[in-house]
Amino acid sequence: MEPKHKLEMKGISIEFPGVKALSQVDFTVQSGEIHALVGANGAGKSTLMKILGGAYDHYEGEIYFDGEKVNIRHPYEAKELGIDVVFQEVDTALIPYLTVAENIMLDKMATKMKGKHLIRWGNIHRTAREVMKQVGIQLDTHMLVQDLSLAEKQMVLIARALATNTNFLVLDEPTAPLSQTETEELFRLMRDLAKNQNVGVVFISHRLPEIFEICETITILRDGRVVFDGVIEQLTQQKLVELMLGRRFEETYPKAHVPIGDVIYQVKNLSEEYDRVRNVSFRVRAGEIVGITGLVGAGKTELCKTLFGAYPIKSGEVLLHGKPLKISSPHGAVKQGVALVPEERRKEGILVDEPVFVNLTLPSLDKFTKGPDFVNTKAEREVARKVINELGIVTPSENQKVAYLSGGNQQKVAVGKWLIADAEVYIFDEPTKGVDVGAKRDIFELIGELARRGKGVIYASSEIPEILDISDRIYVMYDYTIVKEFETSEATEEKILFYSAGGQ
């Protein structure tokens, strides 16, 4: 067995414009253990790990490796110590036009060649396959990363981290895009790394059952400070949530019970040009929340994007208030009253380098425009401040760049912009992915408010308990088509899983 390593962060503080993100945080992890790092959105989890990974260099405090003070101000310095961080934003961490093998071996190719310019591509692909075998994934190493699913991209990132000599591996929301089977395989890998390869694993997740299943020790952050550090056996799920939020919390999520009206939105025999949606039919009534569920890869996201005009329709029709919609682009969808909150929010749902108010008003910019050239930014800001207050978006002001918000608050921005646009049909694709229980409750309340306004809501998620909590009716997808319809009152998790797995 290799000698154990100890990694310590002491008195870590960091500020961003208008925000004190971390204040005097102490964090310790040892090799051979799986250590949970949890907290509500905005608590500082990802920020702390970005400091550890060398992404931020303007922090205060000290970092020690095996008792020796080290300087980590650049990702290269972290990697030299064997510290690898797999961040939540998968697409920004991979190079889409490079192959699987090139992305996995990128760190070695960039830092370990020591001036050499001759690349043996056979060795690159062979080594990449060996690392993938260790991770438990099977992919063609010649595939371009842009052609992979979100779950496959996640595993490529983990494989890249393990392609180097890793002492500590940080996984930030790694199970968010994974199916149950893929999650179990990831947990097998984590246990193997900790117990057999002496790697220290830091696990960030908002899925509380996973934390109790896989972790031994835990650090809880709230408002940039440590509120608990110890053995996870000392906690219950309820106590953990209370420590995260700083208050007592009701576990169940609010379901809006509103009158259900007539059918306002109908999809008939819809197929997508590249066979990613096959002969799908369903309906949505006014005030109704329709759940669309299935395993990862069943076609939920593809259906949502097809309905929003991002993917071309091959056949079938979509009707709003009985009139056929002609949607060939997202712009056309918005113009005709259809809104989408996409799964990959940083890539498709928000403009991270723009202020909050710009993001919130962008889909309805015509409301703030006088003539072809003049935008009333004062009116934009006033409306944005109202939405910020309504949704509880944590930001110093409407002028803050969205990039500086937590994941949960970014998601609220992605949702909030459609409140201003006032669509007729709202499509939510995995809207609670990577958000804490408090932000999840806020999003559920928002969706309930849309139902009370008589809007039609489509809620697509592989989180079956969420679907059962929030929906009035449920459609189950398998192999890019709908295979079963349930009234929610008649559905159970077991029934949904049966049809999700292709049961007849």
**Alpha carbon distance 273, 84 (integer Å):** 40
pLDDT of residue 461: 92
**Alpha carbon distance 340, 203 (integer Å):** 30
**Alpha carbon distance 159, 152 (integer Å):** 10
**Alpha carbon distance 109, 103 (integer Å):** 10
**Alpha carbon distance 426, 441 (integer Å):** 18
Going by their DSSP bridges, the two strands 313-320 and 425-429 should be labelled as unpaired
Q: Write down the pTM of the prediction.
A: 0.68
Cβ distance 284 to 265 under 8 Å?
yes
**Alpha carbon distance 282, 178 (integer Å):** 26
Per-residue tokens: 95:
């190079």
Q: Please name every residue paired with 470 in a beta bridge, in sequence order, or none if there are none.
A: none
**Alpha carbon distance 142, 125 (integer Å):** 8
Chain centroid to Cα 245, Å, comes to: 20
Per-residue tokens: 298:
């069943």
Per-residue tokens: 195:
């117990």
Contacts of 333 (CB under 8 A, 6+ apart): 307, 308, 309, 325, 327, 339, 340
Cβ distance 8 to 48 under 8 Å?
no
Domain architecture of the chain: domains with CATH: 6-245 (3.40.50.300), 252-337+423-504 (3.40.50.300), 348-422 (no CATH)
pLDDT of residue 173: 83
Tell me the three state secondary structure of residue 358.
Answer: helix
pLDDT of residue 226: 96
pLDDT of residue 117: 62
Which of these, 223, 305, 319, lies nearest to 269 by C-alpha position? 319
Q: Report residues of the chain scoring pLDDT below 50.
A: 1
Return the HEC string of 29-86: EECCCEEEEEECCCCCHHHHHHHHCCCCCCCEEEEEECCEEECCCCHHHHHHCCEEEE
Which of these, 253, 301, 287, 258, lies nearest to 439 by C-alpha position? 253
Per-residue tokens: 211:
């934390």
pLDDT of residue 480: 93
What end-to-end distance do the CA atoms of the chain give, in Å?
Answer: 50
